[in-house]
Each structure stands twice: as structure tokens, then as C-alpha cells.
Amino acid sequence: MRSILFVLAGLMVMGLAFWSYQENYKTRDVISDVRSLHGQIGSNHERLGMLRAEWAYLNRPDRLSDLAELNFERLGLLPLMPNAFGRVDQVIYPIPDVLPIIVPIEVGSTPAPVDGEEAL
């Protein structure tokens, strides 16, 4: 009986060792994938910083005004002036629709009987 238990315990230890080695290799693969992803994220952050700097360089006001002047015939762009904006009191807001009165109610008198009801 003891020998069977020893053999079963030995087989269990070998099975657990095999499982742990498989998990170890899976973990190493995942760690290498994570490291490569971190590298890609870092390079993408550098590229994003470069693109933001390039966008800021291309959106300089003096450059844009020169381009607007060069292409005035095609685009018709004018520079923004303070008189191009309106005041708040000049905004025309839409008038809300008046809801129709379906059942009129007289104030100060008894209500009119509805069809099928008796007056009180």
C-alpha cells in the first residue's frame, strides 16, 4: 500500500513539475511581449511629441496669415477682426410655439359636464 502511495506521490510531483515548467515558459513569453509593447508605446509617444511640435510649427499665426493672403483669390479668407463678431443682445432666439388649448376651463364657475356625466 505504501509503495502505491509513493508511486502516486512521485507521479504527482512529476506532473506538477511539468505544469510549472509550462507556466514558466508561458510567463516568459508574455513578459517578452509586454517588453516589446512597452518599446512600441515609447516610440509612439516620441512620434506623437514630434507630430505635436510639427503641428504647432505649421499653425503659426504669421504663416497662416501669409497663406491666406497668397490664396485670397481661391479661398476668400479674411483675417478675424473684432467687428466681425456680434453682441449677445443681437442674437434672435426662436419664439416658442403656443400650445393649443384643447379643453378650456372657466375660472370661478363650476366645471361643465363631460359627455355622459351629470352636472353637480
**pLDDT at residue 117, as a whole number:** 61
Domain ranges of the chain: 2-79
| Residue located via cell numbers 516589446 | 36
pLDDT in tens, the chain (120 residues): 889 999 999 999 999 999 999 999 999 999 999 999 999 999 999 999 999 999 999 999 899 889 988 988 898 888 778 887 888 888 888 888 888 888 877 777 665 666 666 655
**pLDDT at residue 51, as a whole number:** 97
Cβ burial 21-35 (10 Å sphere, 16+ → b, else e): eeeeeeeeeeeeeee
Asked whether the CA dihedral 72, 74, 76, 77 is positive or negative, the reply is negative
- pTM (2 d.p.): 0.48
